[in-house]
Each structure stands twice: as C-alpha cells, then as structure tokens.
Amino acid sequence: MNVATYHRVSTADQNLSRQTDATAEYVEANFPEANVMTFADADTGTDTDREAYQDLMAAVDEGEIDVVVVTEMSRIARSVRDLVRTVERVRESDVELHFIDDPVEVRADDDDPTQTLILQVLAAVGEFEAKITQRRVRDGIAARKRNDEYHHGPAPLGFEKDDGRLIESVEYDRVCAVLDMVDVGELSQREAADRLDCGRRTIRRALEDRRELYGL
C-alpha cells in the first residue's frame, strides 16, 4: 500500500514539523506497513499554484497512491470549492482521503450517510460560493461600464477587451488566486507582481480600486 502525506505552511510560518509529526504518527498507527510518500508546499497557494499539490494529484490520477493523509482540510484546500474539486478527484481515482484533525474520511466505496451528507453540504456551499463570486465580478464589470475608463483605458489585470467589451483573459483565474493570497497576507505585493509579471502599482491598484473585479 502506498500512502501519501501532504503538508502546507503559510509564508508566515515555515515550520512543517507539527504537520509532519502528526501525519507520521497517524500513518504508523493506521498503516504501519505502508510505503510513505511525502509532499510539502512551503508556500501558500491554490490548486493551480502549489507544485507539490500538483505532483500529489498527478500521482493520484496515475494510480500510484492508495491513501492521502492530511492534518486538516485547510491544508489541502483554501476554499470550499477547492476542497470539493479535490475530494471529487480523489474519489474518482478510488483513493482514500484522511483528515487527522477533522472527523471525515473520504472513501470512494463508502456509502456512510454521514459522509454523504458532509460531501453534499460541501458541494452545495462550494456552488453557492462560486455563484456569489461570479455575481461580484459581474456587478464590478457593470459598474465599470459607467466609467469612461472602461471604454478608453487599458484592460485591468486579468482581463482583455473584445470589441470594446471587458472579458476575462486565460490568466484570470490565476490572477484571482494570487490577488487573494496577497489580500489575506500570505503573499507580498512584490511577490505577486513577480508571479504575474507586472508592476507592484498594478497589484496595488487591483487590490485597492478594483477588488470587485476579482471577487475579493
């Protein structure tokens, strides 16, 4: 059996020891004969930004892992939508997902009504969260239409213009993820500017004057 442990720390706390100690103890108690693979991200990000997370999920997709162990839900997902996507992907690969500090174990073949209810609630909240964010963005774009800058100025970060209309660019989701990290203090404006290949002034303006465009 192959067991993967996943750990993530924020930029403010680079100490992985609490998580690694907890997962090691859990694996030893529950899967003593398992071959253990360890994945760790030393930076906070989203599912599109975390390199170790991407490696973990690739291994899950390839059938190289039987069980994933994480200390808590917030380590592997930064939002309900993120968690729902991760859970669905794990279940599709017939992989178990264990959260040490949360009373939930995800098993593909488990028909436990409590687990089913929890997953349904998570999915519903995730869908609601997505709709709220989409509405904020739509309202933000509508408000921009009343501004002369919308018609004559350059497109904001993460957007482009199509026949005069403001539309999301292919980088929009990544831009939103990075801006969210800055907004919650997990990334500096300088680091965000480096990631998005733009100036700090652009980042600052997005966060101070255009928050509604990014669902913040």
Over 80: is that where the pLDDT of 154 sits? no
d(CA 154, CA 158): 11
Over 80: is that where the pLDDT of 15 sits? no
Total of domains in the chain? 2
Q: At which residue do the structure tokens 């162990």 appear?
A: 69
Over 80: is that where the pLDDT of 122 sits? no
In a domain, 47, yes or no: yes
The whole domain housing 187 covers 131-214
Average pLDDT over residues 13-33: 85
In a domain, 122, yes or no: no
Over 50: is that where the pLDDT of 45 sits? no
Among 56, 78, 110, the domain boundary falls at 110
d(CA 85, CA 26): 24
CA angle 195, 15, 216 (to 5 degrees): 40
